[in-house]
Structure 1
Amino acid sequence: MVYTIIITTTMNGSCQDAVGLRMYQHNMYAVVYSVILVPGLLGNIVALWVFRVYIRETKKAVVFMMNLAVADLMQVLSLPLRIYYYLNNSWPFGHALCMICFYLKYVNMYASIYFLVCVSVRRCELVMRPLRYNASRRKVDAVVCALGWLLVCLACLAFPLLRNADSDDGDGGAPPQADAVCFSELPMQMVSTSAAWVILIIAELLGFIIPFTLVLACTCLTAGSLRTKTTGAIHDRGEKRRALRMVLSCTVVFLVCFAPYHVTMPLDFLAKANTLSSCALRDLILKCHPVALCLASLNCSLDPIMYYFTTNEFWRRLSKPEIPERAISSR
């Protein structure tokens, strides 16, 4: 059996008013994206400026945080076009730009997840085995970042490729004008139910469950290092506490930004595939999933806050913005 999975609720048997749902989503997206635009833009620009100075001065996962800031900045730069669309209910910028902005949303989310895991693993490793990190490991970190970008960009191609730009189905039940709809409101290609579930399961496992498990494991190991003395481990308890704050911050970002989205994603699929018999449950899911998507976008503003409160180099650079001694001597 094959479903035509569409992003609207205008299918036969739907309980929700499609126009009302669309206005609810557009108003929410416009407000949330407007709120996070300026702090996300300024925070990540400042983060890149700080990390560029300190990337050779420290080994505390700066290269991963720098790539995380790049991923966040990519999404922030696409927000003005998103805000325009949700305020005006129309997309006049062409299908190609729509797909690029849509694609960057998911690249940011899964690149952020990947680099948050890398940050957690690196800080945990520096606490447990500090002497193993040397200059050659910086090259390994660069390779890990490059492979991460490649894997995320390839995997996220599925999101725009599954969209059907030529469909005549719109949110309001009438055929839309050319380029009138964009982002998640574009209907999807025809896929079998089994194939859709395979995609969902893979996305849940590789995109959230396994990364979150790794972050939790790093949090437990780092917290345990405060109670036990490990041979060759960092003896400065203040350093251990800072490392624990970092991995705890990564855990909080996972719970606040990414957990709600990955909980509601399969439920949203069931609701839009019209497989739920309860109208109240279906309408609740269709209203909760946009909230989860907004929380997923919030990470581009939360990450700079995490840098400031958990990274010594970031705090020192902003509180005493002088050039490091090593940079002066090199000049």
Structure 2
Amino acid sequence: MTFVNTSCLVVNCSCPNHTTVWETNKLYTYVYLIIFIPGLLCNTLALWVLCRFISKKTKAIIFMINLTIADLVHVLSLPLRIHYYIQQDWPFGNMLCMLCFYLKYLNMYASIAFLVCISIQRCAFLLRPFCARNWKSRYDVCISAAVWVVVGLGCSPFILMRSKSNSGSNSTTCFKDLPMRKLDVRSAISMMVAAELLGFLGPLIIISFCTYLIVNSFRQRNQNQQSTGNTKKALRMVRVCTGVFLFCFVPYHINFLLYLMVTQSIITNCAASQAIRQFHPISLCIASLNCCLNPLIYYFLTTEFKQQLSQHGSVLRGRLMSMESTSSYRE
């Protein structure tokens, strides 16, 4: 298998390059800095509340926990990415480089998979309430484990296509600067089809269909004056899942298909290659925003989550006021 210089694949070497490495690195640095603090705080708080204070493991809570873990894993790798894009140096070794590179795509596709699971479960429980009564939380655990295995294996081609093999184990490059392997046409087409169908179009169709079913159920119940709070909550949750999916992942997957065609020299037009190359880091940054947007699902759409935050926030405020009054008394 041949290694190729991505700078000459992404755009033809004879094409003018209007985007410098410094500009791309600055974009990644700023976006990851903006994402890191709120992503870390929101997802840590969400995981703490979901795991410790919500005993009722229904209403997609197990899937939300796994979605939070997927976001936290990616967020915790961001400081190393920020270091690399600022210093342009990777002193942490090849294994950690490939792990951080892999975690980016693991987070993306695990997030997509669990958004699909949340949408399906809320739709199924709304339309089949008797099924919800007999559903066990261990079923969600088994489904989540299967998702991690399938997604983990499915993301392996992303690191197989990138390697430091031709630059030595002491190379200081990582992430976007890793050389990309040149695939044969059949392998390239297979990877594009699998990524787009299984990782994007399939989930998009499923989430859209769940949204349609819930909206249709909501309209019918309104006509019969049988609409309930659960129907409205399910509709809001699936709509937010759809919104997060469309905003974060549609730009990347539209561009990914074209970008892979450019890297494999299928698209050779200079203007098209330049536009695709310039939008690629932007689409990756947009996809990373899901780490900050996913907690909206937990807070705004899960009653138990808001109740627990409100309850423990009141306890914390009471303790602070008690400490202040004690301090004032002593003075």
Determine if the TM-score, normalized by the shorter chain, exceeds 0.5.
yes
**Within 5 A, what are the aligned runs for 1:149-298?**
149-168=148-167, 178-229=170-221, 237-298=228-289
CA contact (8 A) 2:7 2:13 kept: no
Partner SS, residue 163 of structure 2: coil
**More deviation, 298-307/189-198:** 189-198
C-alpha separation in 2, matches of 1:180 and 1:112: 30
Between the aligned partners of 2:302 and 2:127, the Cα distance in structure 1 is: 18
**Displacement after TM superposition at 1:3 (Å):** 7.0
Counterpart in the other structure of 1:65: 64
List runs of 5+ in structure 2 lacking aligned partners.
Answer: 315-331
Q: What's the offset of the Cα at 1:9?
A: 3.1
Distance 1:15 1:274, change over 3 A: farther
Task: Work out the CA distance in 1 between the residues paired with 2:229 and 2:135.
Answer: 27
Name the CA shift for 1:47/1:152 in 2 (closer, same or farther; >3 Å): same
Report the residue type matching 1:206 in the other structure. L
Question: What are the Cα deviations for residues 130-185 of structure 1, in whole angstroms up to 9, with x where unaligned?
Answer: 221246532211110010011111111221122221224xxxxxxx9932210132
2 CA distance for matches of 1:16 and 1:241?
Answer: 53
Letter in 1 for 2:89: S
Alpha-carbon deviation of 1:194? 1.9
Residue pair 2:28, 2:85 contacting (<8 A) in 1 also:
yes
Q: Secondary structure at the match of 1:45?
A: helix
Q: Which amino acid aligns with 1:269?
A: L
**Map of 2:309 onto structure 1:** 318
Mapped to 1, the partners of 2:196 and 2:205 lie a distance apart of: 12
Q: Shift in Å at residue 14 of structure 1?
A: 4.0
Give the structure-1-normalised TM-score: 0.87
* Correspondence for 1:326: none
Q: CA deviation at 1:296?
A: 0.7
Deviation at 1:17, TM superposition (A): 3.1
How far is the alpha carbon of 1:58 from its aligned partner?
4.9
Task: Indicate how the Cα distance of structure 1 residues 213 and 269 shifts in structure 2: closer, same or farther if over 3 A, else same.
Answer: same
Deviates more, 1:273-282 or 1:259-268: 273-282
Match of 2:125 in 1: 126
Query: What is the letter of the counterpart of residue 305 of structure 1?
Result: L
* Deviation of 1:248 (Å): 0.5
The answer for unaligned runs of 5 or more in structure 1 is: 169-175, 324-331
Structure 1 vs Structure 2: percent identity of aligned residues? 42
> What's the CA shift for 1:228?
1.6
SS at match of 1:90: coil
Q: Which of the two has greater helix per residue?
A: 2
| Residues 218 and 247 in structure 1, CA contact (< 8 A), matched pair in contact too | yes
Residues 180, 58 of structure 1: CA spacing in aligned structure 2 closer, same or farther, 3 A cutoff?
closer
Structure-2 change in CA distance of 1:6 and 1:209 (3 Å): farther
Number of matched pairs = 311
Cα RMSD over matched residues? 2.4
TM-score (ref. length: structure 2): 0.87
Assess, with a 3 A threshold, how the Cα gap between structure 1 residues 308 and 14 changes in structure 2: closer, same or farther. farther
One-letter code aligned to 2:278: K
